[in-house]
Amino acid sequence: MDAEHQKILDHYDALARMARARCISQTEAEDLVADTMLAAFSYLHRGGVIEHPKSWLANTLMHLHNSALRRKYRDPVVVGLDALGDMADEDDEDEAYSHSEEAAEVRRVLNDLASTTRSVLIRYYYNGQSVAEIAEALGIPEGTVKSRLHAGRVQVKKGLKQMEQKKYPLAATLEIVWSGREGQNGEPTSLVEGDLIAQNLLLLAYHAPVTVCELADMIGIPTVYIEPIVKKLTDGELMTRTEGNRYYADFAIFTPEDAMSRFDGQLAYAKQHFEEFWCALGSMTDDLRALPYTAGLNERQKQKLERYAVLHALQKFIIGMTADGKIQAPERRDGGRWIAHGWSTPAEYDWTEHREKSNWCVLGGHRTNWKKADFFGTSELSLCEFDTPFWDHPNRFAVGAGYRHYFDGIAQLLWCVEKGIDPSEAGIHSALIESIPKYVEHTGLLVRECGVLKVDIPVMDKATFRALLGRIDGAVSELRRLLKDSFDGFLKGSAVRLPAHLTGVPRDLLYMPATAYIAMAVVREAHARGLHMQGVDYCCPPVILVYEKKPD
């Protein structure tokens, strides 16, 4: 920045005071100062000379302010040519300059101040408060106010001097996965869903706590735009603020490499110890077949019950081996109770290998869609399910009516069909009713036999479900007896290393990439050996519907 440009910058403080005295809001004052400085730089850019910068800037600011008022009240615009030099004759050049890189940098620097610094500048220059008044209002020492005023002036002037071009990293995507109970507005997923800026801010603040200004510099977006996003993420508890006003993403984030580098070892372990796995799981499925309840199921329903029990036992075994006691999700300010982790994918990542290997994964783990309500003779309804890509629709909740309607009403819809109740008379959403043909065709939840719609998954009361869980727990105990030593050895050294400041991540999450494929590796090996899911050539989801009768 040459001497002529620096003369303009030297009057920034005076311009800010003048603008605030005339504008009714902080935003208008900021815009007026920015427009005045842009007008000056534009004039110099075209070869103009400003002999008396203070007067030139003051007159220009006044004319711009008066013109804005006239536009506001639909009056004719009159510009003083003496004060503005020949600016008014160069509209095309002004327009070109306003879209130039230099003009963009001026705007960026004026916006690129942290809220703590910017709030002091605004109070001092725009609101006319003294240093003592600001100190009292913000509850900080007067020396701190003075240092922030100085820092703000230096930032603006230094930023305009540098005018440096920076290369920012390619955008990545971040998928949030959670367990527990989501918030009232779909948190934590809704905090980042479809928001690439929020996702990348979390990724940039993952490895070490950073200030908002540092985040803005890393992502290449002015601080003034970053602050509300950071606030949203902090209020939503995906970010945490330190006492030093630094922020970090407060959950574990994994990469495709974390999972892919641990894939082969999991398949090898499952194959090597398959006999021990199936000794416990095979005994459990034989026991389930002998239950009086199971005798009333058709073969498809029996297969779905066995699938559910096997996957539930495997998941409980793995989590029990990797967790520190019982996992308790914390209560959240959003009304939910959840634990989150994330999967980060670089923009240039080739998904080919990952897609192929994802067929060996249980998608999302066990899910309970629980409804406590007085609904046609029941006080509770729960749809207990796993999602897999193996003889199953991997995203049945996305079929037909979609995610929200599925989780809000699928259990009630199935209960209506089970009891022969007209769904349209039971308050079931029309989108779910209209989706029944798709649920029949794609999900394995419903079937039409001789034109009659029927539920095609196991339906059991809560007492029967407790008995089922007892047999699953028995299988888990047997798995621990048979596999504890070998599994402890397998886990050794396989945990994902987290940044040092992340101390509250549950232990089982550290081992998730190292254990995500074991359950389906066991299931696929059992299927290949003819021990599990014999004769299955249809959509066979591991899903059961559990109800509790309303007390008489």
- Which domain CATH number covers 202? 1.10.10.10
Q: Please report the pLDDT score of residue 196 as a whole number.
A: 86
**Which pair of structure tokens corresponds to residue 479?**
């798995």
Question: Do 187 and 143 sit in the same domain of this protein?
Answer: no
Verify that 119 and 181 share a domain, yes or no. Answer: no
pLDDT cut 70: percent of the chain above it: 86
| Whether pLDDT at 276 is above 50 | yes
Place 99 in a pLDDT band, splitting at 50, 70 and 90: low
Q: Is residue 346 part of a domain?
A: no
- Give the domain extent around 67: 3-162
Bridge partners (DSSP) of residue 289 are none
Is 92 domain-assigned?
yes
Looking at residue 5, its pLDDT comes to 72
Domain annotation covers residue 146 = yes
- Mean pLDDT over residues 53-71, rounded? 85
Residue 350, in any domain of the structure: no
Q: Which of the listed residues 194, 221, 253 is the one where a domain comes to its end?
A: 253
Beta bridge partner(s), residue 446: 455
pLDDT score at 376: 93
Q: For residues 475 and 76, which has the higher predicted lDDT (pLDDT)?
A: 475
- The verdict on residue 342 lying in a domain is no
What single string gives the DSSP state of each residue in 392-427?
S-TTGGGSTT-HHHHHHHHHHHHHHHHHT--GGGTT
- pLDDT at 143 exceeding the cut of 90: no
pLDDT at 194 over 90: no
Regarding predicted confidence, which is higher, 221 or 301? 301
* Residues linked to residue 252 through DSSP beta bridges, in sequence order: 341
pLDDT band at 330 (very low <50, low <70, confident <90, very high): very high
Are residues 77 and 100 part of one domain? yes
pLDDT at position 166: 46
Which 3 state secondary structure label does DSSP give 22? helix
Edge-to-edge strand list for the sheet holding 363-375: 363-375, 378-387, 543-549, 459-461
- Final residue belonging to a domain, choices 227, 253, 279: 253
Q: What is the pTM of this model?
A: 0.73
Task: Choose the weakest-confidence range: 23-37, 174-188, 395-409, 524-538.
Answer: 23-37
pLDDT at 268: 97
> Does 318 score more than 50 pLDDT?
yes
Instruction: Please tell me whether residues 229 and 304 are part of one structural domain.
Output: no
Token pair 């019982």: residue: 326
Average pLDDT, the chain: 86
CA distance 101 to 97: 8
pLDDT for 82:
35
Which residue did the predictor score with more confidence, 350 or 111? 350
77-106: average pLDDT: 48
Residue 184 pLDDT exceeds 60: yes
Round to whole Å and give the CA distance between 267 and 521. Answer: 6
Tell me: do 446 and 427 sit in the same domain: yes
Q: Which of 223-237, 425-439, 470-484 has the lowest mean pLDDT?
A: 223-237
| Number of domains the chain is built from | 3
- Confidence class of residue 83 from pLDDT cuts 50, 70 and 90? very low
Asked, for residue 167, whether it belongs to a domain, the answer is no
Q: Which of 52-61, 156-165, 351-360, 523-532 comes out lowest in average pLDDT?
A: 156-165
343 within a domain of the structure (yes/no): no
Does the structure show a pLDDT above 80 at 16? no
First to last CA, the chain: 84
State how far the Cα of 241 lies from the Cα of 310, in Å rounded to an integer. Answer: 42
Considering the domain architecture, whether residues 195 and 305 belong to the same structural domain is answered as no
For residues 57 and 135, membership in a common domain is answered with yes
Do 1 and 163 touch, CB atoms closer than 8 A? Answer: yes
Same domain, 10 and 36: yes
For 224, 246, 290, the CA distances from 21, given in Å and listed in that order, are: 22, 34, 85
Give phi and psi for 545, each to the nearest 5. -110, 125
pLDDT digits (tens, 9 = 90+) for 215-238: 988 887 777 778 889 999 999 999
Residues 223 and 269 reside in one and the same domain:
no
Determine the pLDDT at residue 67.
81
Please check whether residue 200 lies inside any domain of the structure.
Answer: yes
The count of other CB atoms within 10 Å of the CB of residue 279 is 15
- Residue 88: its pLDDT value, please? 38
For residues 322 and 492, give the distance between their C-alpha atoms in angstroms, rounded to a whole number. 11
Closest to 183 (Cα-Cα) out of 294, 337, 42: 337
Query: At 326, is the pLDDT very low, low, confident or very high (cuts 50, 70, 90)?
Result: confident
Residue after which a domain boundary falls, among 230, 253, 276:
253
Instruction: State the average pLDDT over residues 382-400.
Output: 93
Question: Do 130 and 262 share a domain, yes or no?
Answer: no
Average pLDDT value for residue range 35-62: 85
pLDDT score for 149: 82
* Mean pLDDT along residues 274-291: 96
pLDDT of 246 strictly over 60: yes
**Is it the case that residue 514 has pLDDT exceeding 90?**
yes
Check residue 551 and give its pLDDT. 85
- Cα of 86 vs its chain's centroid, Å: 52
148 and 200, same domain (yes or no): no
| 50-54, 68-72, 178-182, 328-332: segment of lowest average pLDDT | 68-72
CA dihedral for 231, 233, 237, 243, sign (positive or negative): negative
Q: Are residues 275 and 178 in the same domain?
A: no
Instruction: Inform me whether the pLDDT recorded for 468 exceeds 80.
Output: yes
Where does the pLDDT of residue 356 fall: very low under 50, low under 70, confident under 90, or very high at 90 and above?
confident
Q: Tell me the pLDDT band of 108, cut-offs 50, 70 and 90.
A: low
Q: Is the pLDDT of residue 353 over 50?
A: yes
Of the candidate ranges 23-27, 387-391, 489-493, the one whose mean pLDDT is the lowest: 23-27
